[in-house]
Amino acid sequence: MALPPEIAARYPKEIKLPDGRIATVRLMEPGDKQAILQFARSLPEDDLLFLRTDITDPGVVDEWTKNLEQGSTITLLAEMTNIETVLSEPSVRIKEVAAYASIHMSSVRWTRKTGEIRINTAPTYRAIGLGRRLAAEAFEVAKSVGLRKIAAQMTPDQAGARAVFEKLGFQVEAVLADWVEDRRGQSRDLIMMTYDLHGFSDYVQA
């Protein structure tokens, strides 16, 4: 699937967060492999435990970038200036990946109008409105490629993630018992939440 011109033209762009800081949102590219690995390896163990794939593994990130090239995945990266670097060296402005939002599309005919959204934010940049703003951008991307519904999947242990998606308007469609296995080999229930893109509204921008 080719990337629609309006998506390519939309990024990079800057978004202002409620605390006044500026995030740069751009499309992920194959050359971002090391930046993604650095982001993934900064995540707490509890976060990594419930990720769908092990993004600390270079091979998994290679597969991710392959999906980007094939058009089956579109990923937005949010970059922000590292505050610790600014405090120690005011003249230095080093940007790092603060969050990502991916839209994963299906090649199966009867689910080609649905997709899955995955969002992850570095601990340093949580609770500042970044995840919500990035989700709003991802919704627009999903609409641009013709998706009608998007799903989000998580385990019951990911209460914070569920709360975020509920605030965005997602609703629980199903709870599947012992459906997934975490990094430690323990079975977990899977919560499936969905969002109707035709009901998209500006409130997710807040």
Express each pLDDT in 41-93 by its tens digit.
889 888 887 788 899 999 999 999 999 999 899 999 999 987 654 444 544 44
How many domains is the chain partitioned into structurally? 1
CATH code, domain carrying 165: 3.40.630.30
- 162: enclosing H helix or E strand: helix 159-167
Q: What phi, psi does 129 have (nearest 5°)?
A: 90, 0
pLDDT band at 200 (very low <50, low <70, confident <90, very high): low
Has this prediction a pTM greater than 0.75? yes
Placement of tokens 């993630």 in the chain: 161
- Alpha carbons 47 and 37: distance in angstroms, whole number: 14
The C-alpha torsion from 163 through 56 and 106 to 66, rounded to 10°, is 150
The single residue listed with the structure tokens 């005011």 is: 90
Range of the domain at 160: 5-205
pLDDT in tens, 26-50: 999 989 999 999 999 889 888 887 7
